Amino acid sequence: MTEKQKYFALQALVCEELPPYAVDMAIRAGYGKQYESASRRLAHVKQGKVANLADLLALVQHSMPRFNVPEYLLPATATEPDLFPTA
């Protein structure tokens, strides 16, 4: 699955359960400092206007701590190739 597909799959799982105060909880927990307007960015992620899996995961983790995100919906970890393999 691509990151965008994972975003929409997770959005489908949490869309009815994600509380209206999810953006506020994520910002109060310190998430979103990398954005100029964190509340607007996270609100757009919550509404589905911006498909960013990492931001949606932050919203879910901070506002719904008991929700277990399925393993297959977590972002892929970027593994760097071994440029100098030992024989």
Do 53 and 10 form a contact (C-beta atoms < 8 A)? yes
pLDDT in tens, 26-51: 999 999 888 888 899 999 999 999 99
pLDDT of 54: 93
Predicted TM-score (pTM) of the model is 0.81
- Res 83 pLDDT > 70: no
Between 59 and 84, name the one with better pLDDT: 59
Give the mean model confidence (pLDDT) for residues 10-29: 94
Select from 16, 83, 70, 15 the least CA-distant residue to 45: 15
pLDDT in tens, 52-78: 999 999 999 999 999 999 999 999 875
Kindly tell me the sign of the dihedral angle through the C-alpha atoms of 50, 47, 77, 58: positive
